[in-house]
Amino acid sequence: MRSTPTAATLILGALPYGEAPEDVLIAEGRIAAVGPDARIQAEQLQEVTTIEAAGLIMLPGMVDLHTHLREPGREDAETVETGSRAAAKGGFTAVHAMANSSPVADSAGVVEQVHRLGRASGWTEVYPVGAVTVGLAGERLAELGAMAESSAQVRMFSDDGMCVHNPVLMRRALEYVKTVDGFIAQHAQEPLLTEGAQMNEGDVSAVLGLPGWPAVAEESIIARDVLLAQHVGSRLHICHVSTAGSVEIIRWAKERGIDVTAEVTPHHLLLTDELVRGYDPVYKVNPPLRTGADVEALRAGLADGTIDIIGTDHAPHPTQAKECEWSAAAMGMTGLETALPVVIKTMISTGLMGWRRFAEVTSIKPAQIYRHAHQGRPLKPGEPANLILVDAGATQTVDPAGHASKGRNSPFRGMELPGAVRATFLQGHPVVLDGELNSPLSEAAARAAEQSQVQS
């Protein structure tokens, strides 16, 4: 399917990485030409769609290593289809579906199902993440080898939602993934320090009378795991880093040459625990919203490379899971359709980074961490055409009711955010045009196949 030819597209006057305008020709799933060659080659083709893109920034399609698609098991919250639509609208050409479905993605059968559903949807590439332990129970290793050798070819393993807290099991997992060329993505949360935890432990939790989730519960696991990764010589990725102390530990680990990468969510770059004062469960998330000082440290860490990537931790929930008492509410926020604007607001508008670095943290680096050969590629002739067009000057007020995700639990509801995804190209096919869903790759591929039959 990846090589299925679709109609060619000539994009006029877009700004690759926000730099000088170029014309770009997309044909047969690849970037065929950049610059004056684009128009010349386009004239040789029979069917070319032209997009006026003056002022729009062209970037490699975003890659999310941290997505909850909820299928199988919680199709009331999200399906692979609806989550894929949300991803495409948000500018993601690949997402990685976390393993905490029901049943858990801890076997070849489940990861193959999710992978197949992703291919059928055709809005974005869907890569299932395999569970590290059976049932996410943290007791014994799941069949990592079987998942790696399945048709889904899983390389990323995570018990996300739960921490692999047993140090011996974590050591074994780090060692074992070396044999399948994979890596472990750790949800760093010491469970005994966070029993019943409801929000960040600090000044606000003290007043609200909600049990606290101390920063040290995250930092102590990260400190342990970078040392374990060093000891066994394996690859470790830290999910959703949320505290200033974690950033310092990761900086220290990288200085020591430890093979660790780290991610931050858009919501942890913008929101703080002050928002919990109204007890609105839309702000309940794990790890919790932290303090303003943590937000500043996370932004600085992302800008200087200590934190490698953005991961959305997109976590849709049905209405009733959030329309209840804070302590009874589910943890998690949607994020696929607001990630780009939030990163622009927190990192670009603040001058902390430019578009080249934006491309690194949203696309190039996450693709490298997974070792995708065709995502996060340069905007150059011959490269796969997974790319997006962004109107950086647009502003939009977030309205969850208009989201493609089934989840309405956006903490950015009502906020005015900068930037909008105008187009998303998946393997050369425009899955999003004019900011709206266009058509999935599979339909286009089917149409192309029909046409080729008619012609022959």
Partner 1 sequence: MRHLLSTADLSHAQALSILDTAEEMAAVSTREVKKLPTLRGRTVVNLFFEDSTRTRISFEAAAKRLSADVMNFSAKGSSVSKGESLKDTVQTLEAIGADAIVMRHWASGAAAQLAASDWTDCAVINAGDGTHEHPTQALLDALTLRRGWSAAQGQDPRGTDLTGMRVLIVGDILHSRVARSNIWLLRTLGADVGLVAPATLLPVGVEKWPVNVYYSLDEALGSGPEAGPDAIMMLRVQAERMGGAYFPTAAEYTRRWGLTDERLARLEAHRGAAGQRPMILHPGPMNRGVEISAAAADSPMNQVLDQVSHGVSVRMAVLHLLLSSSERNTA
**Residues making contact with partner 1 (CB under 8 A):** 198, 201-203, 205-212, 214, 278-280, 320, 323-328
Residue appearing with tokens 């889904």: 152
Q: Exposed e or buried b for every residue in 7-39, given b needs 16+ CB within 10 A? A: bbbbbbebbbbbeeebbbbbbebbbbbbeeebe
Q: What count of Cα atoms within 13 Å lies in the side-chain half-sphere of residue 321?
A: 17
Nearer to partner 1, 17 or 279 (CB): 279
Q: How far is the CB of 325 from partner 1 (least distance, A)?
A: 4
Q: Which of 52, 62, 116 is CA-nearest to residue 88?
A: 62
Catalytic, 313? Answer yes
Q: How far is the CB of 398 from partner 1 (least distance, A)?
A: 20
Catalytic choice (23, 106, 294, 313): 313
DSSP string, 375-428: SS--SSTTSB--EEEEEEEEEEE--GGG-SSS----TTTT-EEEEEEEEEEETT
Amino acid at 299: R
Amino acid at 138: G
Q: Which residues pair with 285 in a beta bridge?
A: none
Nearer to partner 1, 44 or 319 (CB): 319
Nearer to partner 1, 293 or 328 (CB): 328
Question: Rounded to an integer, what distance in angstroms lies between the CA atom of residue 100 and that of residue 200?
Answer: 23
The percent helix, strand, coil of the chain (3-state, each to 5) is 40, 20, 40
Residue appearing with tokens 């692999």: 164
Integer Rg of the chain from CA: 21
Q: How far is the CB of 252 from partner 1 (least distance, A)?
A: 25
Q: How far is the CB of 451 from partner 1 (least distance, A)?
A: 53
Q: Which residues contact 158 (CB under 8 A, 6 or more apart)?
A: 98, 99, 129, 130, 131, 132, 184, 185, 186, 187, 239
Question: Rounded to an integer, what distance in angstroms lies between the CA atom of residue 151 and that of residue 112?
Answer: 6
CB atoms within 10 A of CB 205: 20
Residue 407: both structure tokens together: 């989840």
Catalytic residues: 313
